[in-house]
Amino acid sequence: MMAWLQFWTMVLMVMMALSISLAIAEDSDLSMVEAEKRGLAEIVKKESHPVLFRQKREWIWNNLYVEEEKPAPIAYKIGHLKSSQRAERKRYEIEGEGANTIFTVDHKGDLFVTRSLDREEKSLYHLTAKLFDSNDKLIENAGDFVVHVTDINDNSPIFSKTFNGSIMERSPMGTKVVEVNATDADDPTTANGELRYSLTQYGDVSAFEIDSVTGVISCKTNTLDRETKSQYVLVVKVQDMRGMASGSTATTSVTITVTDTNDNMASFTRKVYELQVPEDHKLNEKIGTLELEDRDQIQNKEPIFTIPSEHNRMFNIELSPNKDGNLLLKQALDYETKNSYTFTVQVRENLLFPADNPNSAVTKAQVNIKVLDVDEPPVFSKPIYTFNVMEERMENIGVITATDPDRAKKTIRYSILDKDCPIGINPLTGQLSTLRTLDRELEATHRFQVKAQEEPSGLESFVKVDIIVDDINDNKPELVVDEIFVCENDGSKTVIGTLRATDKDDQPASFSFDLHSGSSNFSIKDYGNNTADIMVKDGPFSLDDPKDYTVYVRVSDGGQPVQTSITTLAIKSCRCDARRIPTQCKASAQRMSMSVQALIAILLCILTILVIVILFVIRKRYQKDSLANIKNSGDIHEQLVTYDEEGGGEMDTNGYDVSILSSACNDGSLLRHPDRHPHPSLYAMVQKPTHPTACKGDMAVMIEVKKDEADHDRDGIPYDTLHIYGYEGPESLAGSLSSLESSSTGSNLDYDFLNDWGPRFRTLAELYGVDGPDYYHQY
């Protein structure tokens, strides 16, 4: 409570001090601020409370102002510096922005401006004043003051950029479109810088208005229609001086675009659409296009098509990229069943506003579709065929049926594409049958394609066929048993192994086990659950016993028909410890399972091989005997028989005695002379003589050429008879190269010249020229 009393007491004292200050003001230039200062000083004298103490200020002056752009041909006074300090003579100094250049002060304290100032360049100047006496003694410390440059309307408003806007058609009134802004360099706190906006009559102002203070352009109607007018151009004027006529102005154009919305109903371009489609037209592919007309832009074009229920299972309509209707086929057409379709299509749209064209839009159209006849390929009665057939049987399987869907009903021929397929088909009836027996264990299902082809058009279709091979009991059971051994000390009825069996057939088997032939040492006990034990019947057993222990196990599968196999099972004899763990065993033969048919096949193969070997040996021996008889015969006569080109008849043949050809062997003309190198062209000049007598020199040259070719051609067949050269008969003076008349006994002929005929005759030279007659007899 005491604190509040003190507070209000202080307030009353301040108010009294202010009244006293105003009353005792001596100078007319003293301001309210100075009076406040003096009043506060009186308070300080009366109340020494530290909170209310303020330092005394000695500088006294008013606010200083300079008018912008005021001419200053000579400096003019803008104010006076005063101080409460008393001195006979005073001297003032100023410092700061523009001190002593723009602003000067005289000895009286008058402040002058020396030139015109621009507020937009600088609006405030901060200065400091100092007071000295005549002895240049600082009487009063520095005091800060500010010179204000007052604004005049010397700048026009400016639009800094171009303004454009957009608005959706049918927008409500008052919708903001765009805000325009202009700037003015003059003082915005004065009328010089206060701007006002307006729309001039040079633009389209019927649909828009502008806020004069903010520059916001808005719509003043709700009937904008893009289809009627899609763009407006406004001229905006800005003026300072709060829009008064004396203010400066500027203008700019504003373009406003009206954007589209879905406010127009789609309309068919035609009332009737005539379409044609072949009956083999693919499903879900376009039949034709129902064109639409919509004044809205394509992104706002949203037509919805409706087809009558009795036809919408057959046809469908989807939007095209241009938002027209593509008519699609949903089900296959058949010209023979129905060759035309007629229905009505409706179109509508979900509009955001009432349609602009409710009366002119065509929302219904009739569609007439004509189905064109096409020669179609055969059609199978099923999409896939599946048949069952018993393995190991030759039988008819089933029938593949295809028909011509056209009215012509052409003939159909069937074929199987897989050439290695074991199934055949009747080309006219489609009857499937086996070409060879099938084995389920090798291939349980046969899959192939059947082709049906029309005649004579050649149109074809294909279908898949699956042949499932049913199982019969045609496989023998196979014995499954681990390695069996018998210990030396095994007693009677000791179980030495368990027997099981498997069967490749698909049918469930009931295996039974027994011994095919009796055994004095072992027996089999069949448990009737597809297992059996082999047991010791009588011992003892010894590793020193040279014989092997084997049993013949017979396994039956119990199927229809019953299949049986006999397996030879070898049993090792071992020396075992007390726990019947073998420590030493004697090797035994492996078990072998084989059917009777397999044994017969092996025996037949062995017999066949033996017969072939015997026949081969007999043939070789016969050939050797024949050669020996020929070589041992001393009198050999041969007759060369040639036929004319007509051939065949007795009158067309000539006989030659080959023995005469050997007479030329003593003639040295056949010998090769190392210094003699005939040119190959000489052989080309040799012609078959028309006279029976042949020139010996030409024959020798020809033989030399042929020998030279034979020496350099390792792949050719050596020449043996002269009829190859075109010279035959007893009149030939060249002699014979045949070895048929060569004597295997002693001969006075010298065959060493064969060494000179090249590498191909060296072996012949060795046979006839190196070894003696004994060699020939041996050969």
Q: What is the 3-state secondary structure (H, E, C) of 7-47?
A: HHHHHHHHHHHHHHHHHCCCCCCCCHHHHHHHHHHHHHHHC
For 350, which DSSP code?
-
Distance (Å) of CA 107 to CA 60, 74, 134, 319: 16, 18, 11, 96
- Both tokens of 644, joined, read 């004319």
Q: 94: which residues sit within 8 A by CB, 6+ positions away? A: 100, 103, 104, 105, 111, 127, 128, 129, 130
Note the pLDDT tens digit of each residue in 572-594.
Answer: 889 888 888 888 888 654 445 55
Note the pLDDT tens digit of each residue in 424-481.
Answer: 999 999 999 999 989 888 888 999 999 999 988 888 999 999 999 988 887 888 898 8
Note the pLDDT tens digit of each residue in 33-75.
Answer: 343 344 434 433 433 443 433 444 456 665 788 888 888 888 8
In 3-state terms, what secondary structure has residue 619?
A: helix
Instruction: Name the nearest CA neighbour of 361 among 347, 372, 373.
Output: 347
> What average pLDDT does the chain have?
77
* Residue 190: per-residue pLDDT: 82
Is the peptide bond between 354 and the residue preceding it cis, with omega within 30 degrees of 0? no
Q: What dihedral angle (degrees, nearest 10) is formed by the CA atoms of 430, 435, 437, 439?
A: -70
Burial 69-96 (b: 16+ CB within 10 A, else e): eeeeeebeebbbbbbeeeeeebbbebeb
Contact 34, 25 (CB under 8 A): yes
The predicted model scores a pTM of 0.42
**41 vs 48: CA distance, rounded Å:** 11
Residue 309 in this model has a pLDDT that exceeds 50: yes
In 3-state terms, what secondary structure has residue 738?
A: coil
**287 vs 307: CA distance, rounded Å:** 15
Run of H or E residues at 602? helix 596-632
- Both tokens of 424, joined, read 């055949």
Note the pLDDT tens digit of each residue in 237-291.
Answer: 999 988 888 888 999 999 999 999 888 888 999 999 999 999 889 999 999 999 9
Note the pLDDT tens digit of each residue in 133-155.
Answer: 777 788 777 678 888 888 788 88
Is the peptide bond between 321 and the residue preceding it cis, with omega within 30 degrees of 0? no
Contact 754, 703 (CB under 8 A): no
* Residue 408: per-residue pLDDT: 78
Residue range 754-777: average pLDDT?
63
Instruction: Name the nearest CA neighbour of 668 among 755, 573, 735.
Output: 735
